[in-house]
Amino acid sequence: MNPINQSNYIKEVATQYGFDYCGIAQAEQLDDDARRLEKWLLKGMHGKMQYMENHFDLRIDPQKLLPGAKSVITFLYNYFPSAQQEQHTPKIAKYAWGKDYHEVIRGKLRLMLDELKSTLGDFTGRGFVDSAPVLERSWALKSGLGWIGKNGNIINKQQGSFFFIATLIVDIELSYDAPYAKDFCGSCTKCIDACPTEAIEPNKVVNGSKCISYFTIELKDALIPDEMKGTFNNWMFGCDVCQDVCPWNRFSKPHQEKDFTPIPAILHMKNTEWMQLTEMEFGRIFKDSPLKRSKFSGIQRNLQFIKLNN
């Protein structure tokens, strides 16, 4: 196959594996992103996420992740649910309602890579799902899948922003999509205005050290800082406020992935039931869930914080 046919075939296979969108960009060093990331880190906007400082060169150069890399393939996988959480339940970001997306999508990437090799011939490829130093949103922009909104999310004009982003770096030349050239956020500031902790700053800068997701997931301290009192609005794990208010998410469509079917406890359990949960019960109910990232102790800390400070 020539590069155009190869690229079309890759996109067809991606659809068969459930990916909603697929775009392809030439592998190159991300110099502009490097400058932005360095500035963001120097301002301490990563808080105590020290891993953000590591492997800087890998984040900006795909050839450091895969020697001989020629193409970066980016996939979007919808996770917008059809269900809703009941009132008075601790709020949990929608991406965490079902099974851990890392495992679900990583499995699809592995199978897809094997299938691509069987048709396109042997080549080297590495797949990533939010688990390695890859600037996924930058590659999604470069592959024409959407623009980066003021809340830092990649926004697709057809379906909004409730997507997981997966990346496949390969050492074959393909036909490349045009970067997304237009920003359709315009003068809208809904996400900035609605952010409970004022973490979203002008010029598409998100201060990670002020984000509810940072405090409820990334921060491993025994206590959440007192200055955040009264700002969490019952968010126990992550936060969707900036996506929920985004006008482009009126186009979101419910996903069709059975592995993202919400765990019933997430939809129905009230605060008191969560507080009474034992560590053994937590491990059993959420053994395949992203919530295990915060561990039982982290969830209890978050619950106690929102109980006392909402």
Tens of pLDDT, residue by residue over 123-157, are: 999 999 986 668 899 999 999 999 999 999 999 99
**Catalytic site residue 57?**
no
Residue-averaged pLDDT of the chain: 93
Confidence at residue 34, expressed as pLDDT on a 0 to 100 scale: 78
- pLDDT number for residue 269: 96
For residue range 258-277, list pLDDT tens digits in order: 999 999 999 999 999 999 99
8 Å CB contact between 10 and 174: yes
State the pLDDT confidence band at 310, using cuts at 50, 70 and 90. low
Is this model's pTM higher than 0.85 or not? yes
Structure tokens at 253: 């469509």
Lowest mean pLDDT among 41-45, 208-212, 231-235: 41-45
Which residues contact residue 259 at a Cβ distance below 8 angstroms, ignoring those fewer than 6 apart?
98, 99, 104
Q: How far apart are CA 301 and CA 43, in angstroms?
A: 27
Kindly report, residue by residue over 13-42, the tens digit of the pLDDT: 999 999 999 999 999 998 888 788 888 888
b/e code 55-92 from CB counts within 10 Å (16+ = b)? eeeebbbbeebbeebbbbbbbbbbbbbeeebeeebbbb
User: What is the spatial distance between Cα 65 and Cα 269, in angstroms, rounded to a whole number?
Assistant: 42
Q: For the chain, where are the E strands, in sequence order?
A: 21-26, 71-78, 91-92, 125-128, 147-148, 154-155, 163-170, 200-201, 205-206, 235-237
Q: Which of 61, 130, 171, 259 is catalytic?
A: 130
